Chains A and B, each alone.
Chain A
Amino acid sequence: MRFKTVIGLEIHVQLSTETKAFCSCTANVFEIPANTAVCPVCTGQPGALPVVNAEMVDYAIKLALALNCKVNEYSRFDRKNYFYPDLPKGYQISQYFYPLAVGGHLDIDVDGTTKRVRIRRLHLEEDAGKLMHEGDSITQARYSLVDMNRCGVPLVEIVTEPDLSSPREARIFTEKLRSILRYLKISSGDMEKGALRCDANISIVDLDRNVSSNRVEVKNMNSFKFIEKALEYEEQRIKEALVRGENVEKETRGWDLSTKTTVSMRGKEEESDYRYFPEPDIPPIVVSKERIEKLKLSLPELPDQKKQRFAREYGLPEYDASVLTADESIANFFEACVRLSGKPKETSNWIMTEMLREMKEFESGELKIKPEHIAELIRLVDRGEISIKTAKEIFPEMFRTGKMPIQIVEERGLKQLSDEHAIVEIARKVLEENPHVVSQYKSGKTNVISFFVGQVMKQTKGTANPKLVNDVLRRLLEG
């Protein structure tokens, strides 16, 4: 059987505005004591009213523009009504009938080819609070507590068209989106902290019979890795059902980390009627053309534009340009290095291999490594003062301590020995001490030269310039 996977995403992004969506509480509520960033508005006290945070609207418009959406001149808030303890008003203020923006697209790189993913809509809404269950699970809990700090934190919901055709594409799309969010400085984009949340709708088309499976919604995928894993699992599950000649339930499933499977959360019959209607407490949002233009002008160079420029300006392969521009701070670091070193490709190599490897283990805070470090490292290698191997060896220390490479080289005595006289002297001594091997060489077993090279390197604690050692030894043996 031939199958086609069809995936659409619904992504929620927490905006890093100073204050919440509809009140003046701080929106930076990650890991602060429970129920300390709250007020009458965000806890749904009787009589309290929402007031729209203008910064939130600007952030969302910027994102809409970066995703090539049409920003609607007129949009409106609506109420989405449902009961849950983390929703203090009994409704969520969202945009249903008239979203802020519609009809955009985002291009992603999939194995060297560009794929366009269409954006259906982008709208604003408020986040809900958090529940903490006292006990092993929600059903087993003796009681549950509500933390309302997150209530009213601004969210943007982005809905794609079902244009993604593999779990990997879903992951790449979400990573690309995070990159844009960070470039725009409108969200941390941290999936682990819940600043970026991804739900997916997946169905599989049986191309032979031209029928589609039911659509399954997958939730709780709280890392990029789990997006891919959960959807791979789900893809397989649906395919197997189709192979058996069955279909899957139209339902919502959640990724279960402990079993690495998806489990049913609720079926179709449990779908709620949210009774959407226009939010009477908030007048419509009217966005003027001038405001859109102003925000458009304020947009930074975005990943795709930067990537193209890097390839063009620095002559980098597309892959390098793409890796370097995924994160704006890396891109800026690269450019600063190149300004000092004048060598784009070498700089790119060092950043893409050694530096990004170190970055993976780097927790947070300010980097100790500066562009000067990389530039000096390149210069030392270039001048033959240290070998590439040595340079790689000292990289971790340089990255972690911020010591200049020359200092580490000197401290560890790693400076490459390129003094020909010194090498000749050591080589002579080695030959004198091993007359047997010398005669072996002379009888034609020239590969024993590697034994002598090893001995010289040993004597110099590996600092001798290997090429020079080879040349000197050959000369002495042949001469």
Chain B
Amino acid sequence: MFQKMTIEDCLEVERQDLVKESLKEIERVDKVLKSFITVLDEERIEIDEGPFKGIPIAIKDNIVTKDVRTTCASKILENYVPPYDATVVRKLKKAGFAIVGKTNLDEFAMGSSTERSAFFVTRNPWDLSCVPGGSSGGSAAAVASGEVVAALGSDTGGSVRQPAAFCGIVGFKPTYGLVSRYGLVAFASSLDQIGPMTKSVKDAAILMQIIHGRDPLDSTTVDVKMDFLSHIEQGIEGFRFAVPVEVYEYEGLDKEVAERFEECIKLIEKLGGKVERVKIPTLKYAVATYYVIAPAEASSNLARYDGVKYGLRVEKSGLKETYSVTRTMGFGEEVRRRIVLGTFTLSATYYEAYFNKAQKVRRLLANDLSSVFDQFDAILTPTSPIPAFKIGSITDPLAYYLMDVFTTFANLAGVPALSVPFGFAQGLPVGVQVVGKRFEDPKVLRIGRSIEKFSPYNENGRIPLPVVRV
């Protein structure tokens, strides 16, 4: 059954029909699911020779694809056709993967529900009345529903992990600098990182093996070659785990999510891990810090959408008016909110009070985490304090931002973080987050694989996947 197939499964079968199967499944379900902004016609799908030849994969629509429209789910880039491939796209193509389409997201990756796409809302394949999470909600829904075998997302404050948790798949945010950002449309450059979204931890490791590594076109990448696969099955015997007490202090934590999390801790202990509660004092400032730094960088990164070179232009009599009307009409409310916020915190008068202070807190947080990792192999938290919610049910921006309570700190500190499915709450998937030390990405995946392998909610170590009925 194609919908349930992992990359590993695909390697065991004849692959010439997989792209057709994928397109057929998209044709069948996507009119209700709406994972994709752009689906390629079969003849437009390039398939290179490579070990993964013909395995259908989806790419979040903020990662540029040469000659294939890349919109960032924004009106301002609705008709933008990039002249080049992102480095990760180039690498995947070279490995043989077939890119079948570009997935929906919150506009410019600013959101946690994919409701903020300028085009349409993507639905959660487990419950079509719920959001798939975000911002990589399209990729998460496409993978969970089985429209594609795997996908790439991007994670600035949880945008790979949270939708992975909401849709019951695996989502991994690598160490900052491990995967090239060349061709990832920047939201917050110091936080953004591309990551795999897959049906198994091993698949995430396979994709990481392909996409990681130094890129001469991205000077923030680091020159390391990692082995993600050799030790992935070796278990966690003797590993030490830290659970921040802040998790329990957080009032918004859903009761069933908390129960699954506790079960997961028990499982880890059963598998030979040692779990301790620790205090990470700066953790509670992560969301506030994140919502100063990310909008600040975004306000600058999104300045290029001015109607001069590409994208939407609303022609007005003067330059200033053209700028202003183009950007007002081209950007959605949430994007405009963050641009204004970022412009404010970077202004000369408030730079010290906000941006610079946030940078300092960020350093303190990184130091705090670094001392935790001196004693522990990983930090465990729920990925999201709540499971997927009903479309349109959260309207207050602050309540919305607080969904990132357990995810943003990994981006601020640049450390690797994985969301792995672990059971359900109110019938919707729950994700457990494993956060590791910088450049210990293979270890994080190894821990994730152990959870996946022995989770009582999985069958033979395979995560349960939904069946979308149309």
Contact (Cβ within 8 A) B84 A46: no
**A43 at interface, CB cutoff 8 A:** yes
Contact (Cβ within 8 A) B297 A146: no
Which among B96-104, B162-170, B185-193, B259-267 touches the partner chain?
B185-193
Q: Kindly provide the distance from the CB of B250 to the nearest chain A CB, expressed in whole angstroms.
A: 29
**B147 at interface, CB cutoff 8 A:** no
Q: Kindly provide the distance from the CB of A39 to the nearest chain B CB, expressed in whole angstroms.
A: 8
Interface hub of A52, A81, A275 (most chain B Cβ within 10 A): A275
Q: Kindly provide the distance from the CB of B307 to the nearest chain A CB, expressed in whole angstroms.
A: 9
Q: Kindly provide the distance from the CB of B102 to the nearest chain A CB, expressed in whole angstroms.
A: 13
- The residues of A that contact B82 with a CB separation of less than 8 Å are 40, 45-47
Q: How far is the CA of A109 from the CA of B346 in the complex (A)?
A: 44
Main secondary structure of the interface of A (DSSP, over half): loop
If A46-B64, A47-B63, A47-B86 touch, does A83 touch B219 (CB 8 Å cutoff)?
A: no
**B306 at interface, CB cutoff 8 A:** yes
Which among A177-185, A225-233, A280-288, A435-443 touches the partner chain?
A280-288
Identity of the chain A residue whose Cβ is nearest the Cβ of B342 in the assembled complex: A275
Per the 8 Å Cβ criterion, residues 143-161 of A in contact with B are 146
- The residues of A that contact B309 with a CB separation of less than 8 Å are 43-44, 88, 146
Contact (Cβ within 8 A) B70 A85: no
Identity of the chain A residue whose Cβ is nearest the Cβ of B108 in the assembled complex: A46
- The residues of A that contact B183 with a CB separation of less than 8 Å are 47-48
Instruction: Bin chain B's interface residue count.
Output: 35 or more
Contact (Cβ within 8 A) A280 B189: yes
If A44-B309, A51-B217, A90-B304 touch, does A275 touch B189 (CB 8 Å cutoff)?
A: no
Q: How far is the CA of A182 from the CA of B328 in the complex (A)?
A: 48
- The residues of A that contact B186 with a CB separation of less than 8 Å are 46-47, 281
- The residues of A that contact B319 with a CB separation of less than 8 Å are 85
Contact (Cβ within 8 A) A40 B72: no
If A51-B219, A277-B346 touch, does A46 touch B300 (CB 8 Å cutoff)?
A: no
- The residues of B that contact A79 with a CB separation of less than 8 Å are 300
Identity of the chain B residue whose Cβ is nearest the Cβ of A85 in the assembled complex: B308
- The residues of B that contact A45 with a CB separation of less than 8 Å are 64, 82-84, 310
- The residues of A that contact B185 with a CB separation of less than 8 Å are 46-47
Q: How far is the CA of A281 from the CA of B347 in the complex (A)?
A: 20
- The residues of A that contact B220 with a CB separation of less than 8 Å are 49, 280-283
Contact (Cβ within 8 A) B86 A91: no
Contact (Cβ within 8 A) A280 B190: yes
Identity of the chain A residue whose Cβ is nearest the Cβ of B355 in the assembled complex: A277
**A89 at interface, CB cutoff 8 A:** yes
If A46-B64, A46-B77, A275-B348 touch, does A88 touch B83 (CB 8 Å cutoff)?
A: no
**B458 at interface, CB cutoff 8 A:** no
**B51 at interface, CB cutoff 8 A:** no
**B296 at interface, CB cutoff 8 A:** yes
**A366 at interface, CB cutoff 8 A:** no
Contact (Cβ within 8 A) A277 B77: no
Q: Total contacts A to B, CB within 8 angstroms? A: 103
**B252 at interface, CB cutoff 8 A:** no
If A45-B84, A46-B72, A48-B182 touch, does A91 touch B303 (CB 8 Å cutoff)?
A: yes
- The residues of A that contact B432 with a CB separation of less than 8 Å are none
Q: How far is the CA of A85 from the CA of B351 in the complex (A)?
A: 26
| Complex interface bits, B291-304 against A, C-beta within 8 A gives 1, otherwise 0 | 00000110110111
If A44-B309, A280-B189 touch, does A51 touch B216 (CB 8 Å cutoff)?
A: yes
Per the 8 Å Cβ criterion, residues 338-396 of B in contact with A are 343, 346-348, 351, 355
**B151 at interface, CB cutoff 8 A:** no
Chain A residues bordering chain B, tally (CB within 8 A): 28
| Contact with B182, one of A44, A47, A91, A283 (Cβ below 8 angstroms) | A47
Interface hub of A47, A83, A89, A90 (most chain B Cβ within 10 A): A47
**A273 at interface, CB cutoff 8 A:** yes
Contact (Cβ within 8 A) B306 A85: yes
Contact (Cβ within 8 A) B296 A90: no
Main secondary structure of the interface of B (DSSP, over half): loop
| Contact with B300, one of A40, A47, A48, A91 (Cβ below 8 angstroms) | A91
If A44-B309, A79-B300, A88-B308 touch, does A282 touch B219 (CB 8 Å cutoff)?
A: yes
**B120 at interface, CB cutoff 8 A:** no
Contact (Cβ within 8 A) B219 A90: no
Q: How far is the CA of A50 from the CA of B190 in the complex (A)?
A: 14
Identity of the chain B residue whose Cβ is nearest the Cβ of A272 in the assembled complex: B348
Q: Kindly provide the distance from the CB of B66 to the nearest chain A CB, expressed in whole angstroms.
A: 10
Contact (Cβ within 8 A) B181 A49: yes
Contact (Cβ within 8 A) A280 B304: no
Identity of the chain A residue whose Cβ is nearest the Cβ of B76 in the assembled complex: A46
- The residues of B that contact A46 with a CB separation of less than 8 Å are 64, 70, 72, 77, 80, 82, 185-186, 304
- The residues of A that contact B188 with a CB separation of less than 8 Å are 280
If A40-B84, A83-B323, A283-B219 touch, does A275 touch B347 (CB 8 Å cutoff)?
A: yes
**B179 at interface, CB cutoff 8 A:** no
**B413 at interface, CB cutoff 8 A:** no
**B218 at interface, CB cutoff 8 A:** yes
Contact (Cβ within 8 A) B184 A90: no
Contact (Cβ within 8 A) B343 A275: yes
- The residues of B that contact A48 with a CB separation of less than 8 Å are 84, 182-183
- The residues of B that contact A85 with a CB separation of less than 8 Å are 306, 308, 319
| Contact with B347, one of A50, A52, A273 (Cβ below 8 angstroms) | A273
Contact (Cβ within 8 A) B304 A88: yes
Per the 8 Å Cβ criterion, residues 147-197 of B in contact with A are 181-186, 188-190
- The residues of B that contact A283 with a CB separation of less than 8 Å are 219-220
- The residues of A that contact B303 with a CB separation of less than 8 Å are 81, 83, 89-91
Q: How far is the CA of A458 from the CA of B131 in the complex (A)?
A: 108
Identity of the chain B residue whose Cβ is nearest the Cβ of A281 in the assembled complex: B189
Q: How far is the CA of A284 from the CA of B45 in the complex (A)?
A: 40
- The residues of B that contact A51 with a CB separation of less than 8 Å are 216-219
Identity of the chain A residue whose Cβ is nearest the Cβ of B319 in the assembled complex: A85
Contact (Cβ within 8 A) B343 A90: no
Q: Kindly provide the distance from the CB of A276 to the nearest chain B CB, expressed in whole angstroms.
A: 8
Q: How far is the CA of A277 from the CA of B342 in the complex (A)?
A: 11
Contact (Cβ within 8 A) A81 B300: yes
Q: How far is the CA of A40 from the CA of B182 in the complex (A)?
A: 11
Contact (Cβ within 8 A) B304 A89: yes
| Contact with B64, one of A47, A50, A277, A281 (Cβ below 8 angstroms) | A47
Identity of the chain A residue whose Cβ is nearest the Cβ of B311 in the assembled complex: A46
- The residues of A that contact B323 with a CB separation of less than 8 Å are 83
| Complex interface bits, A7-43 against B, C-beta within 8 A gives 1, otherwise 0 | 0000000000000000000000000000000001001
Q: Kindly provide the distance from the CB of B256 to the nearest chain A CB, expressed in whole angstroms.
A: 38
| Complex interface bits, A74-109 against B, C-beta within 8 A gives 1, otherwise 0 | 000001010101001111000000000000000000
Q: How far is the CA of A89 from the CA of B185 in the complex (A)?
A: 12
- The residues of B that contact A50 with a CB separation of less than 8 Å are 219
- The residues of B that contact A52 with a CB separation of less than 8 Å are 219
Q: Known A-B contacts: A47-B185, A83-B303. Give 18 more (CB < 8 A).
A: A43-B309, A46-B70, A46-B186, A47-B63, A47-B86, A51-B216, A83-B323, A85-B308, A90-B300, A90-B302, A90-B304, A91-B300, A91-B303, A273-B348, A275-B299, A277-B296, A281-B219, A282-B219
A-B interface, 3 closest residue pairs, ranked by CB to CB distance from nearest: A90-B303, A280-B190, A275-B346
What are 29 residue pairs bridging A and B, where the CB atoms are less than 8 Å apart in the complex? Answer: A40-B82, A40-B83, A44-B304, A45-B82, A45-B83, A46-B82, A47-B181, A47-B183, A47-B186, A49-B219, A49-B220, A52-B219, A81-B303, A81-B346, A83-B306, A85-B308, A89-B303, A90-B302, A90-B305, A91-B303, A275-B351, A277-B297, A277-B300, A277-B351, A277-B355, A280-B189, A281-B189, A281-B218, A283-B219
